[in-house]
Amino acid sequence: MPLSVGDRIPSTKIKVASEKGGGEETTTQALFAGKKVVLFGLPGAFTPTCSAKHLPGFIDHADALREKGADLIACVSVNDAFVMGAWGRDAKAFGKVVLLADGNGELARALGLEVDLAAALMGVRCQRFLAIFDDGVCTSVNVEQPGKFEVSSAEVALTLL
């Protein structure tokens, strides 16, 4: 069942990508505890819409999101920490957006937001979504229709905070 308002963030292992490469393992429960978190998920680092629109919007609006109460702005994708780190360096995301590597797709699956993109030779990935959590509890969630980018942007997040 997909993530809904009122659900707690599932406790899964995740890696926080490092600017230097690799990442530090933590749990979603530890990362989200006591914070207002804007979490957006996307199918893959370095993919067209993700790289041209989704991540850049959150980088550009990071200060405004923090002014409206976001303690943490996080991007999750079913990629390893090395790829997420390289993408973060390329996009100049570090210091603005925390990049979460869901290498095994555990978080995407636990959120009910995994999508099978095997037909495009991409395997199982994460659906494009935006969710806001307050101390680990989902207060808002928007999931994009396949191939769309309408309800998960930074601009939408600003209206939801």
Catalytic positions, written as ranges: 50
List C-alpha distances in Å: 37 to 22, 58, 75, 141, 154.
Answer: 23, 13, 10, 12, 13
Three-state DSSP class for residue 71: coil
**How many residues are listed for the chain in this entry?**
161
Three-state DSSP class for residue 12: coil
- Encoded tokens for 153: 């942007």
